[in-house]
Structure 1
Amino acid sequence: MARRAMSVFRQWPSRVFSVETEGEPVYFSIRNEHRGEEVPRVFREVPKSDRCYSLHVCCSDRVRRAKFYAELKENFQRELPPRWDVSPMSSFLPNVRDSLIHGYFVRDHSESPSRSESFLRSLSPDAVLVCSYVRGEDGGVWTQRLWSDSETAEKSKEYFVVPAEAPEYHPSALGIINSDVFYSFEEALEVLQKCGDIIPEAKSVMELLPRRADARSEPDFPVVVIEGLDATGKTTLTESLRDTLGATLLRSPPQGLSPFRARFDQEPPLIRRAFYALGNYMTAEQVGQESTKTPVIVDRFWHSTAAYAIAAAVGGPVSNLPAEGSEVYRWPSDLLQPSLVVLLTLDSEERKRRLRGRGQGKTLEEQALDQNQIFRLKVEEAYRRISGPPCIVVDASPSADQVLQQVQLVIRAKCHL
């Protein structure tokens, strides 16, 4: 068993388990003895003929872990074993950062348990911990069996399964820092370095990167970032500001990364987020150079990278986001800070109308914005909670000229331009 798996194995009785059902997590824990607790909700309506399993991806290398988890998901979507229902799940140590382990909860309706267990045993034992769940004769007690070895499941430890209280915040928050959102150049670079052998484009991207992050305390000229969801008018506004202020216009990710975006958009969040985080540092290097000569307008920056990542990582409603003031919203200490950040907001129906008129290809996350109002609300709220500097919200529903005038007033007041 791999080192990380062994560490997880030793801490197993202290972990809490979360199964996503209809977008909401259901929690349970395990004990050495049963004290009359009720059956956890995820097991209450399981027919007697069904069997339940859980898979926990825990190999030591986090790039391999992310790739393996994504490959499992793709395999389930492409070739779901007959009569299986699969739900995302995780396990974690309460309030312990980096303790989050992603996995899947499986309900098997098939008539051949041997085939299902054969499939589970075929999974890489140094990458996945497997559990089976057994119903007691009276149906009121369930036990969990952790397979310490995929070939000797019968020798594994058994625990009683009991309900667990929901944690103070969504468990995904335990794994956001430097996995979904990166807070230093070195942390993001380390991920891409580990991808060099499996993603050839990673080496090309690294050749474009600055040698190190250089967070200058204050640019010579003001740096104004324009943020907002697609179709809120960022492009029109940033180009108008460039012309009216005699400024340099930059975008994040920078043009140099455009040939690689489609490739990295296919990768698991860990790798994809590291790619876009490094794009911010490339843009910051350009900003540092240009802000010695002129004001700089930036079309999206770290706020976008972080807000989308946080919203995607946290399941369920807006209330599941980490609380305002959480360290997940802090600005990276080695990333140049803009003088001002303007967040354009727009009524969802008007935004959809504008999108229909554009007819451009969209990323998976942009498609999710169109289809999922909850995701959109989480992105907008994450924008508002990011500090250093915070966003100034501007209504983008008036005409382009009116929005330009309003933003110019904000820039004059905040940046003295």
Structure 2
Amino acid sequence: MNVRCSLKMAQSLGSTLFQEWAKRIFAIEFNNNSEPLYFALNPTSEGPWDENSRLHRLLTRGQTYSVCISSENRIQGAESYLHLRDKLARLPERCRVMELMAFFPNKQGSLIKGFLIQDGENDQGTERLLQDLVRESGQTSFCSYMRDDGGRIWQRLGLVTDGQEREIFRNCISLAERPELHPSVLNIKNSVVFCKYEDAYSVLEECTELIPTAKDVLQLADQCERTSRKGPLPVIVIEGLDATGKTTLTEALRESIQATLLKSPPDCIGHLRKTFDAEPPLIRRAFYALGNHITASVIASESEKSPVIVDRFWHSTAAYAIATEVHGKVENLPPPHHELYQWPLDLVQPDLVLLLTVSAEERVRRLERRGQMRTKEEIELEANSPFRQKLEETYRRMENPACVVIDASASKEEVLKNALLCIERYCGIERT
């Protein structure tokens, strides 16, 4: 195939995906407990390699393929990724699907997400099925992996057109070192954590044709008074996982200090949560970010008249987004003092954030006593210990303001007493 023609076709699929493809580092993730396997690409077989490495053993188990999503339209790209993930979940049980990431180390916004697929039976039907999915998804790369006579493994980057897959590039795989930042950290800002109102607003603005109810959220946001200032009276945010006693404490504090009680997202958009929770992270997190700004406009006005208690706010929005996006262990989180832990400059800042904590066992007991149907998020928290640990650690790394931790395993009277002591210390108001 003519190289110039191949490059032209590659560029037509989107410059972001194919630009300097061979200079990217790749990461394969197995699950939430293991370290990713990293590899690089070389046009020759001169790069470092070890046939006893985990990477070699992995890539020589049956037939291996990978697909990566890249689109100039971020909404289409997010939807395509979700669609592709759901389709791959329906592959035969013999097929193994793992997360794959391609990125430039430490370069923000460079991450391309995809999947590595293995078929232990070398069934050509799997390859045809994957090629069909690539055509459906649009701007998607398709790679296959092969071992040469010398034991080295090569990645073939292909273009699927007219029912056929044509090779564009072929590069030899070599071992790569672990980067300073976990690759998923590179794309968190403005994709799941929005540090500015305009950034979250623009995402929902772009998806109004896809999700008509996004217009309702935007209209409510337009009606809100935009300010980063609050009134003279204290604003206290209560954070924590479900079943840590947030509702009990917020109600008690409302009565004790004669406060206005608010929550985020507010009731005016709360009925839309189910709709946006089914959308890709980009859209879902933008919805919750705008919910914070809608709540902030009420905080600003209410704090002119009375103290304000807020049931969850920006910290929980950011913490859940970061802990969900960063796979693996706690060590993979953004390092302390990273910009993702900083309070947005254009969002009303509370005087105090209280983080309620209980042991995992106590939280499960409380949920069981409630007898309520557990949400998908709750099931994940209970079953996935690394996720829960990352979430708790992310809360603790939040800054400006940082969370003040309160042990919520004591009686509700003791928890209220400790919360009031914190409010008196940080905000200068006492119970009436």
TM-score under structure 1 length normalisation? 0.94
Say if 1:204 and 1:45 are closer, same or farther in 2 by CA, change over 3 A.
closer
Matches within 5 A, 1:291-302: 291-302=303-314
Q: Secondary structure at the match of 1:209?
A: helix
Alpha-carbon separation, structure 1, partners of 2:225 and 2:336: 27
Matches within 5 A, 1:40-51: 41-47=54-60, 50-51=62-63
The letter of the residue matching 2:29 is E
Partner residue of 2:22 out of 5, 13, 20:
13
Name 2:332's counterpart in structure 1. 320
Matches within 5 A, 1:13-412: 13-23=22-32, 24=34, 25-35=36-46, 37-39=49-51, 41-47=54-60, 50-77=62-89, 79-81=90-92, 83-113=94-124, 115-122=125-132, 123-124=134-135, 126-138=138-150, 140-150=151-161, 153-211=165-223, 214-412=226-424
8 Å CA contact 1:185–1:213 kept in 2: the answer is: no
Q: Secondary structure at the match of 1:207?
A: helix
Alpha-carbon separation, structure 2, partners of 1:394 and 1:249: 20
Aligned-pair CA distance for 1:180: 1.3
8 Å CA contact 2:228–2:345 kept in 1: the answer is: no
Aligned-pair CA distance for 1:111: 4.4
8 Å CA contact 1:91–1:101 kept in 2: the answer is: yes
Range with bigger deviation, 391-400 or 145-154? 145-154
Range with bigger deviation, 224-233 or 102-111? 102-111
8 Å CA contact 1:17–1:28 kept in 2: the answer is: yes
TM-score under structure 2 length normalisation? 0.91
Aligned-pair CA distance for 1:387: 1.1
Alpha-carbon separation, structure 2, partners of 1:150 and 1:163: 31
Q: Secondary structure at the match of 2:250?
A: helix
8 Å CA contact 2:261–2:308 kept in 1: the answer is: yes
Q: Deviations over 1:337-360 (max 9, x none)?
A: 001101111111111100111123
Q: Which runs of 5+ in 1 are unaligned?
A: none
Q: Secondary structure at the match of 1:157?
A: strand
8 Å CA contact 2:261–2:311 kept in 1: the answer is: yes
Aligned-pair CA distance for 1:181: 0.8
